[in-house]
Chains A and B, each alone.
Chain A
Amino acid sequence: MNVTGYLKDKVLHINLSGEMDECSSQEARTRCDKLIEDNLNVKKIVINLSEVEFMDSTGIGFLIGRYKKASRLGLPLFVSKPNFAADKILNLSGIYTLIPKAE
């Protein structure tokens, strides 16, 4: 799983790509948290899922973990562009009430 980030208009965009499972999530967590810690003066964080080809329930745990971290720092967190399959899992978990979909 690849994790990259960029800043635009004080928004931290984090792009995930590849397969999100238990095996790949550990490294993704570390890299995602580093991006957040290195960019504390943003106004929000958007995690872009458009290039995530596979996701199981590990993705829910991953997003809740990042949500808790962002909340501690007072930063709102959004997700964007999950594919059909990821959207099905995220809907089932009710996670969009905590982490809304960005436009």
Chain B
Amino acid sequence: MTKNYLKLQFYSLPRNQAFARDAVAAFCLELNPSLSDLSDVKTAVSEAVTNCTVHAYKGNLGIVTVECEIEDDTLHIKVSDTGKGIADVNQAIQPFYTSAPSDERSGMGFTIMQTFMDEFKVNSIRGEGTVVYMSKSFKTEVENA
């Protein structure tokens, strides 16, 4: 059984978005993901971390925590912040819903996380923060079968 764990903590600076998604992608390489699975993970992490910068901390400096756990062929990812929280999670996860329409936001962040990952869950408490949990299984391809 394969088990591995990674925890990253960093400031909610926009330039850390690329760092976070690349670090998670590098971490899950041991699962031999296909390029398409790897790209899905990178995109989902980018969405979750961007939400922390743009919404949770609204441009103020805060701490973003990304935790990853590998369990057999599954990657679990938890992205958490201690920002302002989401008033209505059900509304926030609707495709094209955005709380900031004037900023050219697509409102597709949560939809992408949901579509690209196998499991997706959001817990949020107003004034305390948000936790996004996602997981994806990488089917091992049999070589020379």
Footprint of B on A, CB under 8 Å? 19, 21-23, 29, 54-58, 60-62, 64-65, 84-85, 89, 92-93
Rounded to whole angstroms, the CA-CA distance of A62 and B54 in the bound complex is: 15
| Residues on the A chain within 8 Å of B40, using CB | 85
Inter-chain contact B53/A54, CB cutoff 8 Å? no
Q: Tell me, yes or no, whether B36 is within 8 Å of chain A by CB.
A: yes
Q: Tell me, yes or no, whether B69 is within 8 Å of chain A by CB.
A: no
Known pairs A22-B53, A84-B36; A92 contacts B18 (CB<8 A): no
Inter-chain contact A92/B42, CB cutoff 8 Å? no
Interface SS of chain B: helix, strand, loop or mixed? helix
Known pairs A57-B47, A61-B106, A85-B36; A92 contacts B111 (CB<8 A): yes
Q: Tell me, yes or no, whether B127 is within 8 Å of chain A by CB.
A: no
Inter-chain contact A93/B36, CB cutoff 8 Å? no
**Chain A: CB-nearest residue to B106:** A60
Inter-chain contact B17/A23, CB cutoff 8 Å? yes
* Extra pairs beyond A54-B43, A57-B109, A58-B106 (10, CB < 8 Å): A21-B14, A22-B17, A55-B43, A57-B106, A61-B103, A61-B105, A84-B36, A85-B39, A92-B108, A92-B112
Inter-chain contact B106/A19, CB cutoff 8 Å? no
Q: Tell me, yes or no, whether B15 is within 8 Å of chain A by CB.
A: yes
The total of chain B residues at the interface (CB under 8 A) is 25
Footprint of A on B, CB under 8 Å? 14-15, 17-18, 21, 35-36, 39-40, 42-43, 46-47, 50, 53-54, 103-106, 108-109, 111-112, 115
Inter-chain contact B17/A92, CB cutoff 8 Å? no
**Chain A: CB-nearest residue to B13:** A23
Rounded to whole angstroms, the CA-CA distance of A40 and B111 in the bound complex is: 36
Least CB distance from B79 to A in Å reads 14
Known pairs A85-B36, A92-B112; A64 contacts B17 (CB<8 A): no
A-B contact pairs, 19 of them (CB 8 A): A21-B50, A22-B17, A22-B50, A22-B53, A22-B54, A23-B15, A54-B43, A55-B43, A56-B43, A56-B46, A56-B112, A57-B47, A57-B106, A58-B106, A61-B105, A85-B39, A85-B40, A89-B43, A92-B115
| Residues on the B chain within 8 Å of A21, using CB | 14, 17-18, 46, 50
Inter-chain contact B39/A23, CB cutoff 8 Å? no
| Residues on the A chain within 8 Å of B50, using CB | 21-22, 56, 58
